[in-house]
Every structure is written in structure tokens, then in C-alpha cells.
Amino acid sequence: MSGSVIQEKVAKLLSRQNGKPVLRPIKPLALKNEVASRKLKKGEATCVTEMSLLMACWKQNDFNNTVCSKEVSVFYTCVEKAQNKAKGKQGTQGRLLPKEANTLLKRFPSLSSEI
């Protein structure tokens, strides 16, 4: 119902009847059936402190892993936590990911011409 109202307004903006048209569009004034992909936010290196502790232990004990087993296990737990965080953080915060939105729009596109 509101679609026709918008079409009339757009027609008025494009018309040459009242002097020059307000809009001179290059691309068609319609929504595309896809969303632009978002820039990946650059994170920072995870678990650097644990890694440096592990390397200090290695340097002292000549890269012996049995002696440094505590640092090793701490490093592994940190890595696992970082991986889980990275996995879980992607799809939250209330918005659809661009990939998901594109899949949906491909399945339910907005019609460009009358059938």
C-alpha cells in the first residue's frame, strides 16, 4: 500500500515537468538482492603473555617440555578460550551477518518486474 506512495514521490522527483529533475540517477532506484559485506575488524594477537611465559621457561630449561608442562597446559587453555570466544562472537549482537542476509535474500528476493 505504501509502495505506490513512494513510487509517486520518486516519479515526481524524476519528472521534467517542473523544470530540471531533482534526481538524475545512474543506477536504478531499487534495492539490490544482496548486502555489502562488512569490513572484518582487525583483532589483536591473543595469548601473547602465555606464549612469552612459555618461551621464557623453554629458554631456561633448554626446550624441555616435561619440565615446562604447567606453562604448556596454561597456554593450551588460553588458546581454547580464545578460539571459543572468536567462534561465539561472530553471529551475536542482534544483527544478521552479511553472508546470512545474502542467503536469505537469494531465497526470498524482492521482485524487480511483474510476473
Partner 1 sequence: MAASVRHLLKPWTPSLCFARWSRYNPYYLDPDPSKDAPDSELSPEQKELQELKTVRPIKAALSSDTSSTFNDPLISKFINMMMQDGNKILARGIMTQTLETIKRKQVEIYHRSPAAKRLEIECNPYTIFQKALENCKPIIGLASVQKGGKSYQVPVPLTDNRRRFLAMKWLITECRDNKHRRTHMYEKLSQELLAAFANEGNVVKRKHDLHKMAEANRAYAHYRWW
Q: Which residues contact 34 (CB under 8 A, 6 or more apart)?
A: 102, 105, 106
Output the smallest distance, CB 9 to partner 1, in A.
26
Complex with partner 1: residue 10 or 46, whichever CB lies closer: 46
CB of 8 vs partner 1, minimal distance in Å:
29
Task: Count the neighbouring beta carbons within 10 Å of the beta carbon of residue 77.
Answer: 12
**Shortest Å, Cβ 22 to partner 1:** 33
Kindly tell me which of 22 and 48 has the beta carbon lying closer to partner 1.
48
Q: How far is CA 52 from CA 46, 56, 58, 74, 99, in A?
A: 12, 6, 10, 12, 37
Query: By C-beta, is 10 or 79 nearer to partner 1?
Result: 79
Q: Return residues touching partner 1 (CB under 8 A).
A: 42-48, 51-52, 54-55, 58-59, 63, 65, 72, 75, 79, 83, 86, 94-96, 100, 103-104, 107-108
